[in-house]
Amino acid sequence: MRKNFAVIGDPIEHSMSPIMHNDLFQFYGLDAEMKKIHIKKDFLQSGLSELRDMNMAGFNVTVPHKQAIIPFLDELDPLSKAIGAVNTVVCENGRWIGYNTDGEGYLKGLLKQLPDIKQRRTLIIGSGGAARGIYFTLAHYGVEQVDICNRTISKAKALKEACPYPVKTNIMEIALAEKTLGEYGLIIQTTSIGMSPKIDASPIQMSNVMEGAFVSDIIYNPLETKILKDAKAKGAITQNGIDMFVYQGALAFEKWQGVFPDTTRMRQNVLTQLGGLTC
């Protein structure tokens, strides 16, 4: 019997998850299929009700539902409960169990290129579901200082206060972050600003970024966002969201199928579909 999987979000057209997972299903000889399902922000409850009727084996959750979905789940694993956000749901015997593979997936991809992150003063841009996963994971890993800038200061403060792990954190508005950008060795962009189709937008100006700083954007479509282009022009080293996307997807696949998949195949497949190389 075919197993049904999905990825939900608003918007959802940009998601590459079905292409990546459907290729893995075929590669491992599994009778399964993943589809994109658009659930608008204001219709999450009714959308999830319809999803339950579709007999799902599991699904991914993307913006803006990573936090809002929690009340509709039957169980949370300890990490997703601490983070307060879910990006992967496993459906077992009618029960929906929430997990968060964002932070661990991001860290795995980051350490491939930047093994010295513990000593780098870090700035996170944004305070949504992905930011929570990354912030908590970096704090747990032992990064000494992780500051947060956000358009809504109260949300950034709430994120800092919710973190269960020791880490030095300053909260600031975007304007102040722009002025002090040169103090950071690692800058992580976690918002949806700059995502296709609004590729000319950027959440922060890169004018003061330090040469040699590492600027990471969790967006993977487009492969090079405006913030990465601007950072590269100032001599920064850049990373797009492909590594995080691949590793969080691999961890989700492992939870659904009990097998950690071939991440090299996953990466090549996504890049082929997007028509380019990572920056």
Residues annotated as catalytic are: 66
3-state secondary structure of 213: coil
151 annotated among ligand-binding-site residues: yes
216 annotated among ligand-binding-site residues: no
219 annotated among ligand-binding-site residues: no
* Residues present in the chain in total: 279
Token couple for 254? 């492992």
Which residue, chain included where needed, has tokens 């950072």? 231
241 annotated among ligand-binding-site residues: yes
3-state secondary structure of 115: coil
Token couple for 203? 């959440």
Strands laid side by side in the 237-239 sheet: 171-172, 146-149, 122-125, 186-189, 214-217, 237-239
154 annotated among ligand-binding-site residues: yes
60 annotated among ligand-binding-site residues: no
248 annotated among ligand-binding-site residues: yes
Which one, of 228, 176, 173, 231, lies nearest residue 206 by Cα? 231
150 annotated among ligand-binding-site residues: yes
133 annotated among ligand-binding-site residues: no
3-state secondary structure of 239: strand
Binding residues for shikimate: 15-17, 62, 87, 102, 220, 248
Binding residues: 15-17, 62, 87, 102, 126-130, 150-155, 218, 220, 241, 248
Binding residues for NADP(+): 126-130, 150-155, 218, 241
